Chains A and B, each alone.
Chain A
Amino acid sequence: MNTETIKKEKNTSAKTEHISGAEAIIKCLIAEGVDILYGYPGGAIMPVYDELFKYQGKIHHVLTRHEQGAAHAAQGYARISGRVGVAMATSGPGATNLITGIADAQIDSTPIVCITGQVPSHLLGTDAFQETDIVGISTPVTKWNAQVTKAADIPEVMAKAFYIAKSGRPGPVLVDITKDAQFEEFDFKYEKCTAVRSYNPVPKTDINAVKAAAKLINNAKKPMIVWGQGVILGKAEAELKAVVEKSGVPAAWTILGASALPTSHPLNIGMVGMHGNYAPNKLTNECDVLIAIGMRFDDRVTGSLDTYAKQAKVIHFDIDPAEINKNVKADVAVLGNSKESLALLLSELNTNKHEAWHQEFKDLYAIEYESVIKDDILPEKEGLTMGEVLKEINTHSNGDAAIVSDVGQHQMIACRYAEFNHSKSNITSGGLGTMGFALPAAIGAKMAEPHREVVAIIGDGGYQMNIQELGTIFQQKAAVKIVVLNNEFLGMVRQWQQLFFDKRYASTEMTNPDFVTIAKGYYIDAKRVTKREELADAVKEMMASKSSYFLEVCVEKEDNVFPMIPSGASVSEVRLS
């Protein structure tokens, strides 16, 4: 390691101890404030587990039932708390099982550190038992990764790992540590990393760019904000609220930006994107200034780029210079941390109200309400809808719960209808769309913030992708509320088959097991609801429960999620049916 390339916190009180690499890893984690980590043992990581045994009470290791569960639990932990999540696995299959979670964390900018054991260094490259090139495999899906073959390198690499994972635009880091390095003894001393020479996590905000942005906003007749997770990651919720209120600009959110501004805020105009709200999608193509804050113009947000907001001047606030002009050309780009740049913007903004313009959003909302929302949340047909389940959850959560959704129709319904009073409350796999995310992520979220109500909303398909984590819930007594919206289909794919493949339902129908019995097998209280009359009481009972609870709601089998922007279409072609 070339120590000129990083800066460390001066820690004069840190004393040097002669310990093993394995013990050093635990001490690094504790020094970084890690209270919980998720993982699964195996040969190449056993020395570290042996130390975990000795450090019980100082750091809590959660045995998940699959390494993918460990990675997603670490993500859930990070997403609800803003702290770095940690997952650990053995070499070979243990390490490869982490990859989906790592890829998910990469695309959703989630700070996690994954530690993998590796075969002893003299066996590297020999196709040894459970050897896999996890550094090679994880390179395209990590913010940074490194292999350690000498104990003496552990403190610096770990310090760098935590610093890189959480600074700037956060992301996953993987540290692969050979077994011999875990056994080796050395003089350990830990100093946190404070800077890396080749890495500029937070570009400086240019006040002139802020002024140019403010000028455009102050002169705009029909401005619109679309914010993303950058607001949450930058802890800029208060600044966003102040900007919105002072400027009077209607503000919409991407799926990952949800909850940064309460859903009840009068200027919150809903979600953009494929299944977002009608008004913000339609009016994206009518606004005169589009203010993008900490979002990356994902294709699920923009639809066809050729017809996306062409009439508007675009202002793009982002911490990552590579996002500027990547998908949508910015007329004004403001680099930097959202908290700082929004604070600077605030002082340049005129107080304004855009009542007539705001009314256009309300009018379109009324149309969406009549043709979609009413039937979703107050259905008159016989079958239960996903929307009414969400409405019932809102009634009991009062908007205070964190909603962890999986991927599919139920996810879109959850994000559309869940009410949020607090930031970091919508935990979902946005960029990667990873089925199987919700159950383990909910465990991580609940354990990170035990005082918060955590409700997982999952489809019958995605539930079965990581259903084994019920074992973790049971063992850890994690009071997660699990709602499976069972339509006996891979609903979202079935919807596409219906709309775009002439109803040829190839392999989307599911014959499901008795989910209530399965939950009960894990000693989790469980109930199934098949009729509307039973729903309110069942949700009430679940929400009142102090422990984990499983609720299956058998919903209408062939309901579709609308509004919808068919893929490749323009945001203004958003369909209501």
Chain B
Amino acid sequence: MELIQQLVNGISLGSIYALIALGYTMVYGIVRLINFAHGDVFMVGAFVGFYAITSLNLGFFPALLLAMVVCALLGVIIERIAYKPLRNATRIAALITAIGVSLFIEYGTIYVRGAQPEAYPSTLLPDKSIEVFGVTISSQSLLILCTSIVLMILLQLIVHKTKIGKAMRAVSYDSEAARLMGINVDNTISATFAIGSALAGAAGVIFGIYYIKIEPLMGIIPGLKAFVAAVLGGIGIIPGAMVGGLALGVIEALVSGLGYSLWRDGVAFIVLILILIFRPSGLFGKNVREKV
């Protein structure tokens, strides 16, 4: 039963990784850039949610929505200011810029509000324990899980059923051919950053509610792990990011459950190394299609 309990924890944690990983993977899919500032967008989302709840007295869902909107805007601004001018530059230039943006957001946040951590109010969501087949699940983690799942389903609907989603897929497959269809590539890239960043913002609020403590450098480790999750699933592949995130969360929880909790963080990177050695295109990746 202890094991199943850990599994449930792992799925909750994994759904947070998955939400962040989606942004990495979508952005990579469309501009072939690892947006290292993505973990910091997640952090900003956590703080926006925190201030929305404590200062504006908003409830969980309005705070979640606000964090998503602010992060979507932040993502678009980052892309327009930092990445767009470098679209035809070398990959290494874009990568270094991404790291710069990441540091800028982290230390900009510290400059503005200080480095002290905050604690999410624990009374926001009713915390009852529900007993299912002898396993206790908190109503909180259930709600968090449901929110993540709804967001992922929503994303799938956007990507497959809407015009902007089809434009995103077309641009990520062949941006020149997409232009010939009349698709505005710049707007499509902005939309991708907006959606990916909104999901990271949602993950930030969910993280705050689940783990209580937030601070300006909180985005680094979950950001890296979500990156691992995206690579695990196959970078650029949306369902891959979902599965990769969940898998990573479960692996971590099981490692903790087996009594090796000090190995928790390490195991994510062992997974990264293994996947890069044995299946570099990821679980869902087929033949690697390198752009020419």
The answer to whether A binds B is no
Spell out A's residues near B (CB within 8 Å): none
Spell out B's residues near A (CB within 8 Å): none
